[in-house]
Amino acid sequence: MAGKRSSTALKGHGVKFGATVRKRYGKVYRTLHKKRRCPSCGSLKFSRIASGIWECPKCSYKIASGAYDIDVEKLQS
């Protein structure tokens, strides 16, 4: 019998929420918590401080972008 795969991101989200909702939540959680490189100084400490506000604590670079991920197209223009 195969072992049960566990994820801390989906802890507490059992069968009652449905497969589609759990998959969608897992995708958003992984996107939100991945490491990002600061566009200004290049450090890996670039993180979200509020919905749509991203900041690097090392160089204090702050931008407004997407709620769950940085819009790369906005940074290039």
Q: Regarding predicted confidence, which is higher, 38 or 76?
A: 38
Q: What is the pLDDT of residue 10?
A: 66
More confident residue, 70 or 53: 53
What are the chain's domains?
35-77 (2.20.25.30)
Which whole-number Å values give the CA distances from 70 to 11, 22, 42, in the listed order? 26, 23, 15
DSSP code of residue 62? E
Tens of pLDDT, residues 54-70: 999 999 999 998 888 88
The position carrying tokens 């994820």 is 7
Q: What is the pLDDT of residue 49?
A: 92
Cα gap 34→32, rounded to integer Å: 6
Amino acid, single-letter form, for residue 33 = H
